[in-house]
Amino acid sequence: MSDAARTVVDVIVEDHREVEELFREAETAVDPAELRRATDRVIAELVRHSVAEEEYLYPALREHLDDGDELADREIEEHAEAERTMKELEALDAADADFRPKLEQLIAEIRHHIGEEESDALPRLAAACPTEELTRLGEQVERAKRLAPTRPHPSAPDRPPWNKILAPGAGLVDRVRDALSGRTS
């Protein structure tokens, strides 16, 4: 399937598979430095993914599903919980005894979120939304991920229009911080 023909469902599900692979890397890391690098990659990908969903997927749920407001609000709250967990992980040293349990908490939260999205929200959106719109949303999600922050910002807006206005600036700052610190994201 060419990139131009990928729907938002295709993009989100592919992201989920990539996140799962990053989880496996983090779960099998032995050395604290390796664990830190793997966790930083998990956090960066989750933040980019979450920002893109909040900018484009959740507004589409609100527009196309009868219970879209309730569903999007629940998904946003799950993102907020995960973002708080990511912020806590960022503050911990990978050798700290609390680090791995906190990482396991994050992974469990996200796996639950992925399961709900893939079994409910995404199939329902695919059924309710025209293919052209799904494809346009897929392109928007991919573009948003390229500009999105790479670090958690729990106090940042998570709803349009403010999230779409502020996320690219935060993303630029995060990418500069990543480059200066040598953090891989």
DSSP string, 60-77: HHHHHSTTHHHHHHHHHH
Mean pLDDT, rounded, for 99-121: 96
169 vs 149: CA distance, rounded Å: 8
* Tens digit of each residue's pLDDT (9 = 90 or more) over 50-82: 989 999 999 999 999 999 999 999 999 999 899
Supply 1's token pair. 């399937």
Q: For the whole prediction, is pTM greater than 0.75?
A: yes
User: Domain segments of the chain: what residues?
Assistant: 3-181
What is the structure's pLDDT at 176? 43
* Tens digit of each residue's pLDDT (9 = 90 or more) over 115-148: 999 999 999 999 999 999 999 999 999 998 887 6
Topology of domain 3-181, per CATH? Four Helix Bundle (Hemerythrin (Met), subunit A) (1.20.120)
What is the structure's pLDDT at 182? 65
Tally Cβ neighbours within 10 Å of residue 3. 10
